[in-house]
Structure 1
Amino acid sequence: MTNTRVLVLVGSLRADSLNRRIAEKLAELAPAGVEVEIAENLHELPFYNEDLDGENVPSAAAALRDQVTLADRVLAVTPEYNGTMPAVLNNAIDWLSRPYGVGALRGKPFGVIGATPTPYGGKWAHQDTARSAGIAGAVVVEDVTVSQSALEVDVLTDPAVLERLAGAIRTLAEYDADAAAA
């Protein structure tokens, strides 16, 4: 596999969140030739406001757009808050969707995974994230989605869960947009 850069957007701001630890684990699980980088400082993004998105884009937004532009793939690793994606992730996607029609996510293969201490594993948040990213112009790779319940399993050590996570990062890295369109 050639070098593939996967930028990870973590939907939780808590330093020791399970989803942040999953994102960090993905770097270990990634196949040879796949670099996993976590987008830091999402907490510095101001809420999206078109008045701010002009000639003097906030530096945090410009930096995130640059990171996504340089990445080959984007992966959201997120919990679920009140049945949907966390505000920090939604806000990041808002910034990445602009300027309309040519935002940084445009044409970028995108996946979403995560874990929550619920029976559903965050599937509603993951569906909302995929839908929002797709509307923003990303190419959502459905075979990547992993919505893992953390109720009765340690998602960071369970071999079956780790294989699903490794499979997700492998599938996203190997995704060929040209072949999928054919």
Structure 2
Amino acid sequence: MRKTQQGAFSLRILAISGSLRQDSFNTRLLRALPPLAPEGMEIELFDGLGEVPLYDQDLDVADPPKPVHRLRTAIAEADGLIIASPEYNGSIPGVLKNAIDWASRPMVRSALLAKCVVTMVATPGVGLGRNALSDLGRVLHDCHAFVVSGPWVHLSEAPAKMEDVQDEDGEVTTVLTDPRTRRLVDIQLTSLQQAIKEEAGRHAVTPLMSFIQPRQ
């Protein structure tokens, strides 16, 4: 959290998509968020999940692989996280679980420890997504992150509720066209902002920190 020249606080939020597909609905959902963010919140999309190797404790040393270091640093330096995930076979994709495994270790220095997180899901179907949201929230909770509660952004029938447009610079961006989804995004991002400012993540892990930190 940084203080601007005007005295207001600016929050840096890292957005992570659990899909590697170029035209992923979840990646497009994350790209649609910055214009909907509350004042003082900056959202940056993480690019590089596919470069993170499979978790191997033999590689988890003082100098881990560069993609792992980049992931951990990006999460640690962010004030909060937004994770959007598809649902594969009733749960979250392996690539996302793998990234969380890397980010959560070692526990005493975990980049996810006390981090405030909002979870979302976008799916082309109607009945998918709930299991992914549930599993993602449970995994993050077990990593001692603070997951903002619902109402969650569950974008079903995604192709009909978003569209790609060109901005003034010719760059392609995504716009959410569904009013209900835009309302849910507003609720979740505002709740994330409030959770960070009130240090909800830190308060949630106070009992844990008293246990894992060495006594003076």
Normalising by structure 2, what TM-score? 0.78
Q: Report the residue type matching 1:14 in the other structure.
A: R
Q: Does the 8 Å CA contact 1:30/1:166 hold for their aligned counterparts?
A: yes
Are residue 33 (structure 1) and residue 40 (structure 2) matched?
yes
- Out of 199, 202, 211, which is 1:177 matched to? 199
CA distance in 2 between partners of 1:38 and 1:152 (Å): 20
Q: Cα distance 1:147–1:180, how it changes in 2: closer, same or farther (>3 A)?
A: farther
CA distance in 2 between partners of 1:88 and 1:134 (Å): 18
Q: Does the 8 Å CA contact 1:79/1:125 hold for their aligned counterparts?
A: yes
Aligned to 1:98: 105
Deviation for aligned residue 1:119: 2.3
Q: Cα distance 1:53–1:152, how it changes in 2: closer, same or farther (>3 A)?
A: closer
What stretches of structure 1 move > 3 A for 4+ residues in a row? 177-182
Deviation for aligned residue 1:101: 3.1
CA distance in 1 between partners of 2:88 and 2:21 (Å): 13
Aligned to 1:165: 185
Pairwise CA RMSD of aligned residues? 2.1
Number of aligned positions between the proteins: 182
Identity of aligned residues (%): 36
Name stretches of at least 5 consecutive residues in structure 1 with no aligned partner: none
CA distances 1:61-87 after superposition (whole Å, capped 9, x unpaired): 101111111111111111111110011
Deviation for aligned residue 1:179: 9.9
Q: Cα distance 1:92–1:180, how it changes in 2: closer, same or farther (>3 A)?
A: closer
Deviation for aligned residue 1:163: 1.5
Deviation for aligned residue 1:181: 5.0
Larger Rg: 2
CA distance in 2 between partners of 1:55 and 1:105 (Å): 18
Q: Report the residue type matching 2:35 in the other structure.
A: E
CA distances 1:93-133 after superposition (whole Å, capped 9, x unpaired): 00111012321000001120011123234111111111111
Name stretches of at least 5 consecutive residues in structure 2 with no aligned partner: 1-7, 163-175, 205-216
Q: Report the residue type matching 2:182 in the other structure.
A: L
Q: Report the residue type matching 2:199 in the other structure.
A: A
